[in-house]
Amino acid sequence: MTAGGEERLPLRICVIGDSFVAGAGDSTCLGWAGRVAAKAIARGADLTLYNLGIRRDTSRDIAERWLSESRTRLPEGVDGRLIFAFGVNDRMEAPTPSGTRLPMAESLANAEGILRVAGARRPVLMIGPPPIAEDDANLRIRALSDALGPICRRLGVPWLPVFDALAADPVWMAEVRAGDGAHPDAAGYERLAALIEGWPAWQGWTGGA
């Protein structure tokens, strides 16, 4: 019920992104998305979360699929929300003119286009890309994270940068190094989930304290 006594609609959230959204490397198969959803439900949120993470997806891939995938899950008449989290794959080294899978300018244009259209349809949150176990790639990932923040602020989209906190987190970095060099196991995802759990924007959606 709302403060005015009106019944609230069940909350549906699509989380759209890459392998970190999918929870790759997590032996519990929860990732951060499963963890934050489970904790929200445990404290009383009426929530259905749709995990739309796909391994190796870049912002270009997400720009091409997010609308059709979310539309079927968030039809008219429901309290539907969108969370986007991507960027690491964009900045990985590749034999292209930019030297990466996507040039920085395209990554930023894709992000702005996604968030502009999504924000006109539904409430939206954006979570930044995390660090991996490769120093050169991390310089590029952090630069992208730093550039995404101003776009989110300009569009009025709540933004959670996680790069610096996770780069300084010994659990995240140790699990990434012990795994495939990019993805942590359960304890690492628990650290990322804790950052999201403490985010006022997420708490506002799910009734967190």
If you average pLDDT over residues 171-200, what whole number do you get?
98
> Which domains does the chain carry?
31-206 (3.40.50.1110)
Longest distance between any two alpha carbons in the chain, whole Å: 58
> What is the pLDDT averaged over residues 124-143?
98
The phi-psi region of residue 77 (left if phi > 0; otherwise alpha if psi is between -120 and 50; otherwise beta) is left
Residue 49 is inside which H or E element, if any?
Answer: strand 47-53
**Does position 9 have pLDDT exceeding 50, yes or no?**
yes
pLDDT in the model for residue 6:
55
In the chain, alpha helices (H): 19-22, 31-42, 59-73, 104-121, 135-155, 163-167, 170-178, 186-197, 200-206
Query: Residue 158: which of 86, 90, 84 has the closest Cα?
Result: 84
Token couple for 13: 């959230």
Q: Tell me the per-residue pLDDT of 78-123, one tens digit each, with 9 for 90 and over.
A: 999 999 999 999 999 999 999 999 999 999 999 999 999 999 999 9
Looking at every residue in the chain, the average pLDDT score rounds to 95
